[in-house]
Amino acid sequence: MAKTVLVVDDDPTLRETLAWNLEQEGYRVVVAADGRQALERFRTDRPDLVLLDVMLPEISGVEVCRRMRVDSDVPILMLTARDSEVDKVVGLEVGADDYVTKPFSLRELQARVRALLRRADMRVPADAPGPPVQVGAAEVDLAGRRLLRDGRAVAITPRAFDLLAFLVRHRGQAFTREQLLEHVWGYEFAGETRTVDVHVHWLRQLIEDDPARPGLLETIRGVGYVLR
C-alpha cells in the first residue's frame, strides 16, 4: 500500500508542485493550506509523513507540530523560508525530525522523505526484551523506547531517542555528524549537520550531570561525537 504524505503549505503553487512530484514517486498525497486544516487532515487521513511549513495562517506550523507530537511519532519535516537558527531549533524542539530551508531542490526533498519513511519503518524495536541500559544517571529502555531517570520516564522526541539508541548500541565509537545523519536520519548525503548538534545538546540536558561539561556524550574535536 502506498505511503500517505500530508503536504501543508499556504503557497498554492508550491503545495501543488510538491504534491505532483510526490505522487510521481508513488505516494498518496493529501494537502492542507493552513494550520487548522492540517490538523483535520492529520486526524482523518493518518499520514505516514508530514511536510509542514513553519509560517501558516490560522495556526502556526510550530504549534501544529507540537499538537501532532502529543499522540504520534509520525516523521515531520519542517519547511522554512527563514534563515534564522531560532526558527529551525524551535521546530526541532517541538518534535520535528528535521527541516529544509526554502528554496530547496526537489531531489533533496524526495531523498529526505524516502530516508525518513525508511527510518520510521525500522523504528519498531528489534531488540530482545531486557533490562534498561545504564547511561550515567539515566536508563535507556531500548525495547520500550523510553528514557528513565529515577525510575520515571523522561520526555524525549522520537528522533532524539533514535540518536541515543544508536549511540548506546555503539558505545565508545566516535562518529562524524555526517555519519550520524546517515545512520540515524538515513540521509545518503551530507545534509544539515546543525540538526545533529541540536539533538546532541538536548541529550546532554537529559543524561549529563553537568551538561555544560559533558562526561558521557563527548565532542571529539575535528571528528564528531562519542558516547562513553
102 and 189 belong to one structural domain: no
- Please give the residue range of the domain that contains residue 36: 4-121
- Identify whether residues 105 and 144 lie together within a single domain: no
Quick check: is 126 in a domain? no
Instruction: Encode pLDDT of 203-225 as tens digits.
Output: 999 999 898 899 999 999 888 99
Both 44 and 101 in one domain: the answer is yes
The reply to whether 90 and 150 lie within a common domain is no
In a domain, 128, yes or no: no
Number of domains composing the chain: 2
Residues 21 and 92 in one domain: yes
Residues 104 and 29 in one domain: yes
Residues 142, 116 share a domain: no
Whether 74 is covered by a domain: the verdict is yes
**pLDDT for the residue 126:** 47
Is 158 a domain residue?
yes
Residue 192 lies in a domain: yes
Write b or e for each residue in 174-198: b if 16 or more Cβ atoms lie within 10 A of its Cβ, otherwise e: ebbbebbbbbbbbbeeebbeebbeb
Q: Is the pLDDT of residue 133 over 80?
A: yes
Q: Which of 98, 121, 144 is the last residue of a domain?
A: 121
- Domain CATH for 107: 3.40.50.2300
Give residue 189's pLDDT. 54
**Do 36 and 14 share a domain, yes or no?**
yes
CATH number at residue 209: 1.10.10.10
Q: Pick from 75, 100, 121: which residue ends a domain?
A: 121
In a domain, 203, yes or no: yes
- Per-residue buried b or exposed e for 92-126, using 16+ beta carbons within 10 Å of the residue's own CB: bebbbbbbbbeeeeeeebbbbbbbbbebbeebeee
What pLDDT sits at residue 86? 62
Residue pLDDT, tens place only, 4-50: 999 999 999 999 999 999 999 999 999 999 999 999 999 999 999 99
